[in-house]
């Protein structure tokens, strides 16, 4: 049998298996799989280099299904490669199966990242390709199968623009232009120029082919791998549901099994057991290692005025000198987030992502696929731009360090658009996340270092104003802890705060002390996980809590504290102080006051609360 015939035979099997799995599951996307079967048959037969016996081989290529709903095709490929057997293939979409509706790395070692939210696979592929070129220095290739419908997501064009800018010739995007979306025609249908022109404009090589012509597909992959200096996109004109008359090029055949499985399989030539020996990696090189000189945690003197964002930059830079696996990304504001300090010290491990937060998270996700430890930073407010990417990164089980600077009204004059006031809520609601919000430079430094070894999405919230260092460098802070910043045996009220609000709380406490009202102050720098023990002790001792945050009332520190007492024997009265109106523009101190999260407002609330009976 010629290569062409073998590829066609494999493609037929991939189609049959896509029909079988989705029919068995009574759900799934067989038609979206059928359109890309030839593309993937040729890829895995000749161009993909992947050792299925050793998925952790650092020289393996990466194959990302940006159109994650074509999972039946992906799993059919795994079966053909001998990575899963027929029995497992038929567990598709069953509880406990390794083959969920959209691919997830937690289930299968061959899957790098979870996809299914369209427009994310290619941006993540950019990150993996960047790692290949600029971190690992390895010749693996990144292949990304994209849908045509997802090309209207701006994140795809972000990926095109950045990949072109970075000259990622180790990246190949394959667009399956089957012209049918979920509910009807795509924006551009089969007008392939609608993809060619922007791709070329962004510096990519574009190759248009008939996506069912295996010879043309083979040539295109060869050309892609042999085009130095720029990424390549293969724009494959295909037919959705190809090979099965019942659904071929038919609207309303999206995302459901075929009605007549038997006829479909018969039409495709029946079940088969074709197996493919996927090529092994082309090299056995070891990934590049960055040599480091070693460093200690930076230390700050009590009383010195240092913004926590500045401490972030310094601690991260030191961490970069301590560990060669730490890399840094920023969204064109590194002189504000202070990632800039890292940039200057470790230019080879810094990635300027420009103003493209979605791509920044995607790239960080791709970079951690390769075992690197990314720290990415932007304003706290602008992480909201990438929330879907963060959500999906958590589903991927990705380990990301994200720093949001310029949190809250304390930024001052720039006004509401630049103020992160929902970031804690947003990050708390990410599965398995860690949320940290330090008040002081030494605390920040310790947390920045500890973050590196946590699992999942770790968020560090820093602030703009330079405020006095309040803790000695040898004071210890840890994720999950809280620091009792002020206490006495006579405390009548406890103020729980984080970040700049700790400073306001301490000022309020001092005022109240002068009035004979003793209050405890807890610096709850670890918001998730929160230190329940310290809060419970305070509840037992004082019976009354005030939470203070430079954040909207919903989903922040206050809610984290409420949760501790929901189903506990302790019933402290809890007053939540938070930002409750859209802030204006004014100097930091004025806005803190105007928002009612200042020392005076805290003191007022404490006086009032102290007069109530503990519950």
Subset of 303-332 contacting a second copy (CB under 8 A)? 332
569 binds a second copy (CB under 8 A): yes
Could you give the C-alpha distances from 143 to 104, 125, 287, 366, in angstroms and in order? Answer: 17, 8, 19, 13
- Toward a second copy, which CB reaches closer, 42 or 430? 430
422 is catalytic: no
CA geometry: angle at 121 spanning 119 and 123, to 5°? Answer: 80
Which residue in 85, 304, 413, 513 binds a second copy (CB under 8 A)?
413
89 binds a second copy (CB under 8 A): no
**How many whole angstroms separate alpha carbon 284 and alpha carbon 60?**
10
Contact 579, 551 (CB under 8 A): yes
- Toward a second copy, which CB reaches closer, 296 or 613? 613
Q: According to CB under 8 A, which residues from 51 to 70 bind a second copy?
A: 68
Could you give the C-alpha distances from 322 to 14, 22, 54, 106, 474, in angstroms and in order? Answer: 48, 50, 30, 30, 19
Nearest distance in Å: CB 597, a second copy = 15
559 binds a second copy (CB under 8 A): yes
**How many whole angstroms separate alpha carbon 281 and alpha carbon 576?**
57
Residue count of the chain, please give it. 615
Q: According to CB under 8 A, which residues from 199 to 238 bind a second copy?
A: 200-202
272 binds a second copy (CB under 8 A): no
With 0-12 CB in 10 A as exposed, 13-18 as middle and 19+ as buried, what is 284?
exposed
577 binds a second copy (CB under 8 A): no
**Of the ranges 53-61, 320-328, 363-371, 550-558, which one interacts with a second copy (CB under 8 A)?**
550-558
Q: According to CB under 8 A, which residues from 6 to 35 bind a second copy?
A: 25, 27-28
**How many whole angstroms separate alpha carbon 95 and alpha carbon 125?**
29
Q: According to CB under 8 A, which residues from 526 to 545 bind a second copy?
A: 528
- Toward a second copy, which CB reaches closer, 200 or 249? 200
Q: According to CB under 8 A, which residues from 453 to 492 bind a second copy?
A: none
- Toward a second copy, which CB reaches closer, 288 or 608? 608
**How many whole angstroms separate alpha carbon 218 and alpha carbon 237?**
15
Q: Which listed residue (357, 422, 504, 549) is catalytic?
A: 357
Nearest distance in Å: CB 332, a second copy = 5
Which residue in 41, 114, 145, 367 binds a second copy (CB under 8 A)?
114
Tokens encoding 580: 């409750």
- Toward a second copy, which CB reaches closer, 42 or 508? 508
Nearest to 141 by CA among 209, 53, 47, 7: 47
The residue with tokens 């729980």 is 496
Tokens encoding 63: 């194959």
381 binds a second copy (CB under 8 A): yes
**How many whole angstroms separate alpha carbon 377 and alpha carbon 407?**
12
**Of the ranges 55-63, 159-167, 230-238, 440-448, which one interacts with a second copy (CB under 8 A)?**
159-167
Over its C-alpha atoms, the chain yields an Rg (Å, rounded) of 27
The three-state secondary structure class of 236 is strand
592 binds a second copy (CB under 8 A): no
The residue with tokens 């800039």 is 340
Tokens encoding 103: 């691919």
Size of the residue set binding a second copy (CB under 8 A): 109
- Toward a second copy, which CB reaches closer, 269 or 553? 553
Nearest distance in Å: CB 477, a second copy = 23
388 binds a second copy (CB under 8 A): yes
Question: What residues act catalytically?
Answer: 357
């Amino acid at each position: 049998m010629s290569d062409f015939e073998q590829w066609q035979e494999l493609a037929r099997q991939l189609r049959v298996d896509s029909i079988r799995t989705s029919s068995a599951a009574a759900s799934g996307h067989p038609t979206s799989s059928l359109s890309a079967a030839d593309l993937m048959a040729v890829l895995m037969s000749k161009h993909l280099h992947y050792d299925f016996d050793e998925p952790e081989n650092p020289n393996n290529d990466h194959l990302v299904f940006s159109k994650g709903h074509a999972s039946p095709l992906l799993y059919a490929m795994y079966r053909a490669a001998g990575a899963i057997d027929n029995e497992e293939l038929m567990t598709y979409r069953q509880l406990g199966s390794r083959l969920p509706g959209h691919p997830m790395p937690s289930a299968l070692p061959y899957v790098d990242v979870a996809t299914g939210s369209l427009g994310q696979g290619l941006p993540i592929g950019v990150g993996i390709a960047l790692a290949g070129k600029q971190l690992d220095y390895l010749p693996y290739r990144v292949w990304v199968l994209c849908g045509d419908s997802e090309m209207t997501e701006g994140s795809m064009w972000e990926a095109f623009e950045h990949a072109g800018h970075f000259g990622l010739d180790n990246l190949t995007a394959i667009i399956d232009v089957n012209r049918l979306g979920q509910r009807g025609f795509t924006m551009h249908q089969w007008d392939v120029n609608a993809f060619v022109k922007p791709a070329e404009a962004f510096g990519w090589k574009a190759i248009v082919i008939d996506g069912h012509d295996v010879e043309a597909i083979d040539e295109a992959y060869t050309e892609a791998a042999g085009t130095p200096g720029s990424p390549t996109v293969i724009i494959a004109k295909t037919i959705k549901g190809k090979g099965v008359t019942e659904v071929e090029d038919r609207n309303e055949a999206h995302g459901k099994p075929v009605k007549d499985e038997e006829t479909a399989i018969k039409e495709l030539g029946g079940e088969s057991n074709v197996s493919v020996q996927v090529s092994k990696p082309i090299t056995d090189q070891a990934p590049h290692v960055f040599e480091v000189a070693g460093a200690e945690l930076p230390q700050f003197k009590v009383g010195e005025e240092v913004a926590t964002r500045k401490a972030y930059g310094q601690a991260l830079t030191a961490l970069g000198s301590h560990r060669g696996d730490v890399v840094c990304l920023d969204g064109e504001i590194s002189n504000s987030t202070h990632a800039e300090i890292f940039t200057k010290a470790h230019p080879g491990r810094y990635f300027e992502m420009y103003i493209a937060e979605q791509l920044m998270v995607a790239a960080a996700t791709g970079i951690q696929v390769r075992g690197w430890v990314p720290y990415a930073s932007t304003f706290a407010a602008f992480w909201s731009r990438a929330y879907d990417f963060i959500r999906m990164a958590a589903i991927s089980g990705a380990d990301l360090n994200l720093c949001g600077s310029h949190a809250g009204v304390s930024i001052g004059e720039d006004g509401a658009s630049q103020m992160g006031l929902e970031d804690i809520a947003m990050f708390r609601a990410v599965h398995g996340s860690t949320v940290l919000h330090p008040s002081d430079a030494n605390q920040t430094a310790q947390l920045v270092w500890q973050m590196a070894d946590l699992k999942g999405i770790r968020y560090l919230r820093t602030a703009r104003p330079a405020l006095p260092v309040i803790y000695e460098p040898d004071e210890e802070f840890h994720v999950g802890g809280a620091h009792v910043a002020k206490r006495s045996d006579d405390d009548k009220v406890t103020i729980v705060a984080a970040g700049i609000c700790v400073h306001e709380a301490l000022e309020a406490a001092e005022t109240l002390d002068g009035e004979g009202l003793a209050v405890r102050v807890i610096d709850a720098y670890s918001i998730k996980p929160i230190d329940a023990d310290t809060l419970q002790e305070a509840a037992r001792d004082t019976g009354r809590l005030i939470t203070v945050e430079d954040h909207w009332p919903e989903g922040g520190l206050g809610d984290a504290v409420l949760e501790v007492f929901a189903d506990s024997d302790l019933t402290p009265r809890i007053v939540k102080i938070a930002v409750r109106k859209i802030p204006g523009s004014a100097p930091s101190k004025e806005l803190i006051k105007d928002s009612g999260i200042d020392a005076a407002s805290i003191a007022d609330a404490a006086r009032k609360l102290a007069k109530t009976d503990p519950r």
